[in-house]
């Protein structure tokens, strides 16, 4: 089955620092999405990418859809304490029964 790889499992940064997260796949996806999950809550969509090469920003977040359609990255600039959480990448193929495939997530800790 399709798998998305996110590593490392955890990242620790200082408040104010930038951080970049990568997501890779052995197969092609037509849509890439980045979600954030807070403890005890469901994932919240941060950024959606629909075209290879697309670069999209949402406030301090920037994400890119890789040219090969097998990878994506998320960048958070000037981190703040509320950026703490688990960041998941997810990919979708197209078609009537397309479904979201999630990575295992990266837990981000921000030291004040």
Nearer to other proteins, 5 or 14 (CB): 5
Residues 12-51 that bind other proteins (CB under 8 A): 30-31, 35, 40-45, 48, 50
Identify the residue among 11, 61, 84, 100 touching other proteins (CB under 8 A). 100
Binding mask of the shown chain, residues 49 to 78, with x at each position contacting other proteins by CB under 8 A? -x----------------------------
At 68, list the tokens: 């090969």
**Beta strand extents in the chain (DSSP E only):** 4-5, 10-14, 19-25, 31-37, 44-49, 55-58, 61-65, 71-76, 85-92, 100-102, 106-111
CB 95 within 8 A of CB 15: no
Nearer to other proteins, 66 or 105 (CB): 105
Interface with other proteins (CB under 8 A) = 4, 9, 30-31, 35, 40-45, 48, 50, 88, 90, 92, 94-105
């Amino acid at each position: 089955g399709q798998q998305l790889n996110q590593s490392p499992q955890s990242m620790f940064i200082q408040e104010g620092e930038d951080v970049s997260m990568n997501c890779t796949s052995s197969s092609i996806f037509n849509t890439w999405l980045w979600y954030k999950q807070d403890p005890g809550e469901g994932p919240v969509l941060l950024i959606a990418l629909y075209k290879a090469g697309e670069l999209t920003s949402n406030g301090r977040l920037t994400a890119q859809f890789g040219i090969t359609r097998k990878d994506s990255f998320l960048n958070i600039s000037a981190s703040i304490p509320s950026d703490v959480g688990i960041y998941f990448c997810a990919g979708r193929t197209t078609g009537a029964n397309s479904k979201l495939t999630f990575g295992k997530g990266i837990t981000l800790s921000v030291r004040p």
